[in-house]
């Protein structure tokens, strides 16, 4: 039996459209800034940033996919592309041959460090300069509630 759709009321529809517009425009804004200033896609910048924030600048492919909230297949394609640019490299796990690691190269770290100031300026001007401290706290709470709910619905391959 088919489930009945619970249509969005007027307030929910306005909020949904505002969120959709905001996320679409923000991602495009950050992509354009990073492409222009660092020749990087925002998704690639995020991948490099995740690697840079961990000891030895490496993570297992599974952990990296989980942190980036992408499938392992999509991560494999991104790592292949970034390997070709000399920004990351794949390594075998020293203790478990079944696991593969993604490692940030010295060149990748340099590219990330060069891109970071412009990216932070773009994020600050597009988001945080427009909000009060209370709105920032509310934004985090709202986004975390949505992300946590979506995380529960992830397919088994991403867990």
Q: Domain boundaries in the chain?
A: 38-118, 127-159
CA gyration radius, the chain: 18
CB 48 within 8 A of CB 112: yes
Question: How far apart are alpha carbons 139 and 124 in whole angstroms?
Answer: 14
Angle at 108 between CA 102 and CA 109, to 5 degrees: 100
Q: What is the pLDDT of residues 7-47, one digit of tens each?
A: 999 999 999 999 999 999 999 999 999 999 999 999 999 99
Q: Environment class of residue 59 by beta-carbon count within 10 Å: exposed (0-12), middle (13-18) or buried (19+)?
A: buried
How much is the pLDDT for 142? Answer: 97
Task: Please name which of 45, 69, 42 lies closest in space to residue 148, comparing C-alpha atoms.
Answer: 69
* pTM, rounded to two decimals: 0.87
CATH fold label, 38-118: Arc Repressor Mutant, subunit A (1.10.10)
Copy the structure tokens of residue 122. 């773009």
Instruction: Encode pLDDT of 61-115 as tens digits.
Output: 999 999 998 998 999 999 999 999 999 999 988 888 788 999 999 999 999 999 9
């Amino acid at each position: 039996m088919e489930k009945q759709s619970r249509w969005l009321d007027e307030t929910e529809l306005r909020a949904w459209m505002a969120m959709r517009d905001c996320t679409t425009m923000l991602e495009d804004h950050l992509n354009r800034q990073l492409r222009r200033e660092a020749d990087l896609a925002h998704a690639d910048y995020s991948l490099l940033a995740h690697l840079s924030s961990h000891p030895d600048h490496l993570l297992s492919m599974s952990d990296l996919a989980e942190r980036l909230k992408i499938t392992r297949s999509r991560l494999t394609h991104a790592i292949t592309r970034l390997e070709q640019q000399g920004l990351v490299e794949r390594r075998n796990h020293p203790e478990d041959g079944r696991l593969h690691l993604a490692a940030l190269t010295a060149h990748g770290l340099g590219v990330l460090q060069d891109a970071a100031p412009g990216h932070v300026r773009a994020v600050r001007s597009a988001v945080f300069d427009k909000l009060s401290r209370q709105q920032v706290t509310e934004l985090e709470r709202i986004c975390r509630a949505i992300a946590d709910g979506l995380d529960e619905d992830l397919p088994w391959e991403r867990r």
